[in-house]
Amino acid sequence: MDNTDLIILPLLIGFALDCLLGDPRWLPHPIRLFGWLIGWFEKRFNRQSYRKLKGAFIAAFLVGMTWLLLFLLFRELKSFLTIYLVAASVGVFFGLANHSLIYESWLVVRALNSEGLEAGRKQLSFIVGRNTSNLNEQQIRTAVLETMAENLSDGVIAPLFYYALGGVPLLFAFKMGSTLDSMIGYKNERYKNFGWLAARLDDLLNLIPARLTALLMVVVSFSWSGFTHIFRYGHRHSSPNAGYPEAALAGILKCRFGGPNVYHGKLVEKPYIGHDQKIITNRHFWLVAYVNIATAVVMVGGIFLLNELIL
């Protein structure tokens, strides 16, 4: 078995498992371990002096050690081909989140349709950081689509991108960086110093994947409007990356995202992305689900073709 098979077989198996199973709640997930480790370090070191230095060291240490330990592990496992393929396939499976992203988003839409506004708000609160208690139906539906676009980048395309570059070790180094940002990468009083490197590192790691995601989204939807929106609106988001897939989707759907929202009790005046105030319906959710799945499939296919050409 050559190096191409060692890369492609786990990719195809892991991707298929994510499509079929998602993230079963009963199954132990390495991201929970990442979260526990980050929380352990944060409680002990995010206090008193030198918080910025301590936070930077811990972020670099956790990302670096994640890569190193998995690199050493998978190097040894290559002597045991079957075990290597199983471990790598499970690694890809755990590293992707498209099934769960679409399913959790659908739960919001379903709750809104069948149980009403309050149920939709509550279900949405499980997947977004904004305050959902005063959102109307259109704001809920818009938030779902924004989340699907943004998380397609950092939950699917970025992990695949880093897997293509460095296998499971680099994929999970990225996931550690992403988890660090989601836990301590905030600009509030508690985390603005301790989590500054985590936030910057996540921005850097997603720089290429976010733009690649946006381009793939417009390719699979054959949308010239999506393409022009990337350049017109992508840079307007407060995040250096999140605006690009959101802008692509706004152009694909010919709708408008962004605007003011409440995050952690504070009103944030986010710029609008797109200009058409379209009514969002169930049909748009299913179109976005198609875009997510098709974008992921094209990315996997692209990795396969590149490996065939290079190796």
- From first to last of its 311 residues, the chain has per-residue pLDDT tens of 666 788 999 999 999 999 999 887 777 889 999 999 999 999 999 998 999 999 999 999 999 999 999 999 999 999 999 999 999 999 999 999 999 999 999 999 999 999 999 999 999 999 987 888 889 999 999 999 999 999 999 999 999 999 999 999 999 999 999 999 999 998 888 999 999 999 999 999 999 999 999 999 999 999 999 999 999 999 988 889 999 999 999 999 999 998 766 665 666 667 889 888 889 999 999 999 999 999 999 999 999 999 888 76
Longest dimension (CA), the chain: 57
Mutual orientation of helices 207-221 and 224-233 as an angle, nearest 10°? 150
What are the CA-CA distances from residue 273 to residues 55, 82, 209, 244 (Å)?
33, 48, 19, 10
Q: Which residues have a Cβ under 8 Å from the Cβ of 114 and sit 6 or more positions away?
A: none
How high is the pLDDT of residue 24?
78
How high is the pLDDT of residue 268?
66
Q: Measured between alpha carbons, how far is 201 from 31 in angstroms, rounded to an integer?
A: 18
Phi, psi of 37 (to 5 degrees): -65, -45
Q: Measured between alpha carbons, how far is 38 from 23 in angstroms, rounded to an integer?
A: 21
How high is the pLDDT of residue 266?
65
Would you say the pTM of this structure is higher than 0.85?
Answer: yes
Which of these, 148, 186, 179, 171, lies nearest to 46 by C-alpha position?
186
Please give the angle made by the CA atoms of 218, 161 and 252, to the nearest 5 degrees.
15
Long-range contact set of residues 267-271: C-beta below 8 Å, sequence gap at least 24: 268/238, 270/237, 270/238, 271/236, 271/237, 271/238
Q: Kind and range of the H or E element at 237?
A: none
Q: Which residues have a Cβ under 8 Å from the Cβ of 68 and sit 6 or more positions away?
A: 169
> In DSSP terms, which residues pair with 257 in a beta bridge?
273
